[in-house]
Amino acid sequence: HAQARNVVECVFGVVKRRFQLINTAPEYSLKKQAKMVLVLCVLQNFIHVHDP
């Protein structure tokens, strides 16, 4: 559990540094915020694979 949490926190750190959008106060519904996090993680993975 602790190791998985560390990985998740690391991923959020990477995504927050790359996409400043999630560092501001949320102006969107909770449902949209959850989708945004998912989309930004997918986008981060795409960038990681295609732009090393």
What tens digit of pLDDT does each residue of 1-52 get? Answer: 888 889 889 888 888 888 887 788 778 898 998 898 899 899 999 998 998 6
Which one, of 41, 35, 31, 43, lies nearest residue 11 by Cα? 41
d(CA 20, CA 6): 21
pLDDT of residue 42: 93
The answer to whether the pTM exceeds 0.75 is no
In the chain, how many domains are there?
A: 1
pLDDT of residue 52: 66
Domain of residue 34, residue span: 2-50
pLDDT of residue 12: 86
